[in-house]
Copies of this chain bind each other. A is one copy, B any other.
Amino acid sequence: MAQRTAIPSGTRDFLPREMLRRNYIFDTIRTVFKQYGYVPIETPAMENLSTLLGKYGEEGDKLLYRILNSGNAFAGVDPSDLANNTLLSAKVCEKGLRYDLTVPFARFVVQHQQDIVFPFKRYQIQPVWRADRPQKGRYREFYQCDVDVIGSHSLLYEVELVQIVDAVFTQLNIPVTVKINNRKILSGIAEIMGAADRLTDITVAIDKIDKIGQEAVLNELLNKGITETAVQQLLPILTLSGANEEQLTRLSAILSASTTALQGIEELRTIFNYLEILKLGQKVELDLSLARGLNYYTGAIFEVKSNEISIGSICGGGRYDDLTGVFGLKNVSGVGISFGADRIYDVINALDRFPEAAMEHTKVLFLNLGQKESIKALECLKELRAIGISAEIYPEIAKMKKQMEYADKKAIPYVVIIGEEELNDNTLSFKDMRSGEQKKSDLKTLLADFSC
């Protein structure tokens, strides 16, 4: 009996049509990374579990895919071990699949620090795996697309990353808004509120302002035990508006008692100044509600949203001051962003903005009308391919209708017919499948037409 064909839930096959579209996104991003002097690295899919565990919180540990040890994995297992899933998993699995690209990157930097030139500008585009509950738009295997520079505190890199975001989305024809905040400002706010130890509660609440509104945020804070006075201090900050520079100036006044906040404000001022001069195509704005939940950010925080499609963040990142500390390399500052390829795909798809040229596969099909005719076709194909044109021949001597149907189904735009007549007068017939127009031509003309 034939086996059922299915893939694990939460994973995907990519058909050619999807692959061409995905490659268009990755190629665009990669080209921009390259223009800014970033170089690629890759790390193995499997990491030692010792590298991964404890880096993503308790919840993250549960979402790691573990690989059963090879050979007799259960040789040393005692029946009493069966009661303790965590312990037993650790006994029979030494390796796991990577959960993100950040921890492997930190491990990589420490391991290869002697072979790297700092500041190290790298990008990495690889799949990651999470044993998450699959749902719409959330997969158990998905690509991350990270660009980071590590080994410098220079704010020019924050500027550079925003330029990269600007270039990528401009080229993808996706108008976006880049939202910027600074973790130091958030710390300063908590400080001023007299609740420095409640930073997480405060940022988690502020983060929701777009969804639940200002009043609900204030209520949540009160419910969490933040004092009424403290919450009142937050009000003027949450209601700030105006140009970036204007907001920063007023924020300096409100947070003047916190040197941390002032430092964060100064950092943003520098970044905004540079960006102003560089005249980006996309909108960049200060967003004090931006927190991104990730505790390892220490400076600038970025998030990018489509201006047209409401789908959440399609790109995000920030500055971190101690990514590699856990692996023994202290005081190395870095900044990076990650592009969400799946969401970007969904946005371009929803807006129907995949360019036709990027989707093209075979451009010319040569019909196969006989032995001699096919030899002539193969010779022409050789010349066409030599100038970079994607072209193929129908594999069998079949009815013309069947061959035309193949061109049609594959959406091949041009068909070349070499029959007895064309063979005799050393010509070819060239058909534009979209217009239906057909004309006599010759190889030289065909090559010239496709060269320009």
Interface contact B36-A274, CB-CB below 8 Å: no
Asked if A43 lies at the interface with its beta carbon under 8 angstroms from chain B, I say yes
Interface contact B115-A15, CB-CB below 8 Å: yes
Give, as a whole number of angstroms, the nearest-CB distance from A192 to chain B.
31
Asked if A48 lies at the interface with its beta carbon under 8 angstroms from chain B, I say yes
What residue of chain B has the Cβ atom nearest to residue A88's Cβ?
A: B74
Known: A13-B108, A274-B378, A278-B379. A85 touches B66 (CB 8 A): no
* Alpha-carbon distance A326/B173, docked complex (angstroms): 45
Known: A48-B6, A108-B13, A278-B382. A35 touches B391 (CB 8 A): yes
Contacting residue for A5 out of B41, B117, B327, B361, CB 8 A: B327
Q: Identify which of residues 116-130 in chain A touch chain B, using a CB-to-CB cut-off of 8 Å.
A: 116-117, 119, 121-122, 127, 129
* Alpha-carbon distance A385/B79, docked complex (angstroms): 63
Asked if A2 lies at the interface with its beta carbon under 8 angstroms from chain B, I say yes
- Stretch of A16-24, A215-223, A312-320, A414-422 lying at the B interface: A16-24
- Stretch of A227-235, A392-400, A429-437, A442-450 lying at the B interface: A392-400
Q: Can you show 9 pairs from A to B with CB atoms below 8 A apart?
A: A3-B51, A7-B46, A39-B361, A46-B65, A46-B140, A62-B70, A152-B396, A156-B378, A278-B378
Asked if A42 lies at the interface with its beta carbon under 8 angstroms from chain B, I say yes
- Stretch of A89-97, A251-259, A337-345 lying at the B interface: A89-97
A99 contact set on B, CB distance < 8 A:
none
Most B-side CB within 10 Å, residue of A5, A163, A396: A5
Band of interface residues on A: 35 or more
Q: Copy number of this protein in the oligomer?
A: 2
A74 contact set on B, CB distance < 8 A:
82, 85, 88-89
Interface contact B152-A395, CB-CB below 8 Å: yes
Interface contact A45-B385, CB-CB below 8 Å: no
Interface contact B277-A378, CB-CB below 8 Å: yes
Most B-side CB within 10 Å, residue of A6, A8, A31, A140: A8
Interface contact B392-A37, CB-CB below 8 Å: yes
A11 contact set on B, CB distance < 8 A:
44-46
A209 contact set on B, CB distance < 8 A:
none
Interface contact B20-A39, CB-CB below 8 Å: yes
What residue of chain B has the Cβ atom nearest to residue A277's Cβ?
A: B375
Contacting residue for A23 out of B40, B92, B327, CB 8 A: B40
Asked if A388 lies at the interface with its beta carbon under 8 angstroms from chain B, I say yes
Asked if A107 lies at the interface with its beta carbon under 8 angstroms from chain B, I say yes
Interface contact B93-A68, CB-CB below 8 Å: yes
Asked if A250 lies at the interface with its beta carbon under 8 angstroms from chain B, I say no
Interface contact B277-A8, CB-CB below 8 Å: no
What residue of chain B has the Cβ atom nearest to residue A374's Cβ?
A: B156
Contacting residue for A14 out of B7, B41, B127, CB 8 A: B41
A4 contact set on B, CB distance < 8 A:
50
Interface contact A122-B390, CB-CB below 8 Å: no
A406 contact set on B, CB distance < 8 A:
117
Interface contact B16-A122, CB-CB below 8 Å: yes
Q: Identify which of residues 59-100 in chain A touch chain B, using a CB-to-CB cut-off of 8 Å.
A: 62-63, 65-68, 70, 72-75, 77, 79, 82, 85, 88-89, 92-95, 97
What residue of chain B has the Cβ atom nearest to residue A42's Cβ?
A: B14
What residue of chain B has the Cβ atom nearest to residue A39's Cβ?
A: B16
Contacting residue for A156 out of B15, B157, B395, CB 8 A: B395
Asked if A224 lies at the interface with its beta carbon under 8 angstroms from chain B, I say no
Asked if A131 lies at the interface with its beta carbon under 8 angstroms from chain B, I say yes
Interface contact B72-A362, CB-CB below 8 Å: no
Known: A3-B326, A117-B410, A391-B35. A68 touches B66 (CB 8 A): yes
A48 contact set on B, CB distance < 8 A:
6-8
Asked if A353 lies at the interface with its beta carbon under 8 angstroms from chain B, I say no
A149 contact set on B, CB distance < 8 A:
395
Contacting residue for A327 out of B2, B92, B129, B396, CB 8 A: B2
* Alpha-carbon distance A129/B127, docked complex (angstroms): 15
* Alpha-carbon distance A448/B55, docked complex (angstroms): 49
Asked if A191 lies at the interface with its beta carbon under 8 angstroms from chain B, I say no
Interface contact A43-B117, CB-CB below 8 Å: no
A362 contact set on B, CB distance < 8 A:
37
